[in-house]
Structure 1
Amino acid sequence: MKKNNQNKRCLEINSTIEYIFDWYNKKNTKLLNVITYPYNDIRIFRDLIVEVSQNSMSVLYLCNNENKYSEIIKYIRNAGTGVTYSKIKNGNSGDECIINFSSIDNIVNIKKYYDLIIIDDISMLSPYSSTEFKEYVDMLYRNCGKIILYTFEEIMNNVDTIYVGNYFRTKPFIEPRVITTRIDLNTDIPFVMYDYIRWFKKNRRKILIITPSGEKQQMVYDYYVKRLNIVEKMKVIKYERQDHDKICRYAFENKDNAVIIVSDRVLDDFIRIPDLDIVVYFSNDECFTYKKLVYLCGEVGGMNKEGEVLLLSNGVNDNIDQAKECARQYNKISWEKGLLT
């Protein structure tokens, strides 16, 4: 059964790459939307980037995760293509290179014509909505050959679209658990949270508590430290930006003890922390868009990990419902393709 699933995942990878190549080489359309879950792999684009660049055609790879630049560059070097590449910070530099890398934030500055533009919004959470991405595509459309959108949801209507399943994960995408309560979360937590905290401690989990503001962060931190006096049982850390690397390193290396990190921001770097669970306090706050909630689920499930995403609030809103639906759809696609064990 395990070998059969591996074969299906290999088939999914190969069929996806083949579809992308056929679209680029044979279809007379300019837009392709590749839809998948957050933090999926980018290797489905590597061979296309190499082929296009070897034909002396220009490529622009837009992504806010610079580690992906390095991954593609390493692949290009190993392929021995000899093509030139550079990272650009504005729309005018790097013109002499075949492949350019830049952040999505820089889209408004792109002026050069490119034969292929790949917009990767999967490898790192960006603040841009589907409406904003549509506007960005409109800006680039007339000054490029073709565009691939790599996104967690459908961006453009009536364009070529392919849904990609879990070809590098054996586990389902993490679906969030919603905990609603009438209790004032400014001063207390529901009883079920005590059960979760005991379970987190017993299993030496790393718990990331995310709040909508610095004020709420301080309140939640004080509650766990002073009211629950939980520091006698597990380490509680208040996230500060200047201590980011130290906090991540501590959580990553401290494998034998449970750790709680209370933060007021959503950060992709936490995907590296093993045994991670996330609790979103006041999850119905408008700052928690469904996109942010879906990417948090991706952080917990990244690198084939298993964990929980708990959405704690006094009510459910559209963002919570949409996040749950996105997660269900990812798993539905993967189950139908036979990719999950």
Structure 2
Amino acid sequence: MLFFKKSNKTKKISKKSIEDKILGSVMKKVRKINVVSPLNNRAAIFNKTLDYAIAEGKKILYIINKDKDAIDLSAGLANYIDDPYCEAVVGKINICSHNVGIYLEDKFDLIIYDEVNSRPMYTRESISKLMCSISGSYGTMITYSIEPVFRSGITIYNLKEDLECPIAEPRFISTRVKLEEGIPNCVYDYLKWSINTNNKVIIYVPHKEQVDKIYKGLKDIKENLTSNIYRVKSDDSGRKRFIRFLLAEEGILITDDFNEEHIGLKPVNIMVFFADSDVFTYKDLVYISSRVNRILKNTKEEVMFICNNETEDMDKCRSILRELNKKAWEQGYFRR
């Protein structure tokens, strides 16, 4: 959810300074601005910029890949917002998805593309191309993403204020075992450790057919793991099974569904089987890894990628998360 809500809280690293950096760059007519952030971070950093653009009577577009009903804007700016996906209106905050934006014929003075608060699905090239095609000659384009989208312009990092420990960086387990045919010993040992430490486990697979195969493989050894093994496929509701998984003291869930309702389950370890599949882009892997939202110190939750061969997308996912951790260290988040 998006909350354009101003906060008076004072942090060691002030959000206000980030707001001012963005606003200052917009007022200086910087053409391209990258705002880099972990997923599921607040959009309130754009408050001052939006207020300024509205006061100047600029034509504003906010792009986010969520359904209209899933977008929640605070009362402070609600009066400025027309019905999402309508024709562009000057002095209003017009909202659309990437796919809708492709067909827009209007030119905008300020465009903010937010893929931090929705599932990131599009390449940097397609995002840049879209924004440039609907930006006015002197307009400003801002991307809010896990990585810099524009190769030119400026880059500002916005890290989570409540961060006390590093973001979980995935560990890789390479195996020659065909996962559809059996569970490797190293994976079994990790599952056993997770259950013994009262961490639930979500296992993501790329295809629904693999859900059944992994489920069967785990059920065959459930006596040594746990009887609480569940499966949820993306093409069925699976709601009751998911609720049983949530209510269980410990358990394992196998799914090909990246649904957002899995976010926030704690404590949980994430495993991605067939992580080297072409189905998983590096943005998918970052999105899945972010389900482990380690905030408190000494949190033990982990992310594991199980594969036959390491891929460029796996490496890129880990590099992006490592870079966010590096910036957090440099800015003193973990030394509080």
TM bracket, shorter-chain basis: 0.7 to 0.9
Identity within the alignment, % = 22
Is the deviation greater in 241-250 or in 214-223?
A: 241-250
Q: Deviations over 1:202-259 (max 9, x none)?
A: 233232111121222221111112x21359823222213432554554444x1x5112
The one-letter amino acid of 2:29's match is N
Show the counterpart of 1:173.
Answer: 167
Change in 2 beyond 3 A, CA 1:247/1:101:
farther
Cα displacement (A) at 1:54: 3.7
Show the counterpart of 1:3.
Answer: none
Q: CA RMSD in A?
A: 2.6
Show the counterpart of 2:292.
Answer: 300
Return the alpha-carbon distance in structure 2 between the equivalents of residues 162 and 275 of structure 1.
31
1:233 equivalenced with 2:235 (yes/no): no
SS of 1:85's equivalent in the other structure is coil
1:15 equivalenced with 2:17 (yes/no): yes
SS of 1:150's equivalent in the other structure is strand
SS of 1:319's equivalent in the other structure is helix
The structure with the greater share of residues assigned to helix is: 1
Contact 2:204–2:273 (CA under 8 A) maintained in structure 1: yes
Change in 2 beyond 3 A, CA 1:145/1:93:
same
Show the counterpart of 1:275.
Answer: 267
Cα displacement (A) at 1:32: 0.8
Return the alpha-carbon distance in structure 2 between the equivalents of residues 298 and 232 of structure 1.
25
Change in 2 beyond 3 A, CA 1:322/1:83:
closer
Show the counterpart of 2:82.
Answer: 85
Structure 1 residues 201-240: aligned runs within 5 Å? 201-225=195-219, 227-229=220-222, 233-240=226-233
Cα displacement (A) at 1:174: 0.9
Contact 1:238–1:263 (CA under 8 A) maintained in structure 2: yes
Q: How many residues align?
A: 322
Structure 1 residues 71-150: aligned runs within 5 Å? 72-77=73-78, 82-88=79-85, 93=87, 95=89, 98-142=92-136, 145-150=139-144
Return the alpha-carbon distance in structure 2 between the equivalents of residues 203 and 178 of structure 1.
21
SS of 2:272's equivalent in the other structure is strand
Contact 2:81–2:92 (CA under 8 A) maintained in structure 1: yes
Return the alpha-carbon distance in structure 2 between the equivalents of residues 143 and 237 of structure 1.
54
TM-score, length-scaled by structure 1: 0.85
Return the alpha-carbon distance in structure 1 between the equivalents of residues 216 and 289 of structure 2.
26
Cα displacement (A) at 1:265: 3.4
Change in 2 beyond 3 A, CA 1:161/1:21:
same
Q: Deviations over 1:142-186 (max 9, x none)?
A: 477221111111211121221223323222111001111122222
Q: Deviations over 1:62-96 (max 9, x none)?
A: 112457731x333425xxxx4343211xxx53647
TM-score, length-scaled by structure 2: 0.86
1:288 equivalenced with 2:280 (yes/no): yes
Return the alpha-carbon distance in structure 1 between the equivalents of residues 87 and 240 of structure 2.
35
SS of 2:102's equivalent in the other structure is helix
Cα displacement (A) at 1:335: 0.1
Return the alpha-carbon distance in structure 2 between the equivalents of residues 47 and 249 of structure 1.
41
Return the alpha-carbon distance in structure 2 between the equivalents of residues 306 and 51 of structure 1.
43
Structure 1 residues 312-323: aligned runs within 5 Å? 312-323=306-317
Return the alpha-carbon distance in structure 2 between the equivalents of residues 260 and 289 of structure 1.
24
Return the alpha-carbon distance in structure 2 between the equivalents of residues 237 and 326 of structure 1.
31
Q: Does 1 or 2 have the higher relative contact order (CA < 8 Å, sep 6+)?
A: 1
Show the counterpart of 1:264.
Answer: 256
Change in 2 beyond 3 A, CA 1:272/1:194:
same
Return the alpha-carbon distance in structure 1 between the equivalents of residues 223 and 103 of structure 2.
49
Return the alpha-carbon distance in structure 2 between the equivalents of residues 315 and 159 of structure 1.
36
Is the deviation greater in 105-114 or in 328-337?
A: 105-114
SS of 2:190's equivalent in the other structure is helix
Change in 2 beyond 3 A, CA 1:148/1:75:
same
SS of 2:269's equivalent in the other structure is strand
Cα displacement (A) at 1:301: 1.4
Contact 1:201–1:257 (CA under 8 A) maintained in structure 2: no
Contact 1:86–1:99 (CA under 8 A) maintained in structure 2: no
The one-letter amino acid of 1:86's match is D
Contact 1:180–1:314 (CA under 8 A) maintained in structure 2: yes
Change in 2 beyond 3 A, CA 1:74/1:206:
farther
Return the alpha-carbon distance in structure 1 between the equivalents of residues 166 and 64 of structure 2.
25
Change in 2 beyond 3 A, CA 1:97/1:51:
closer
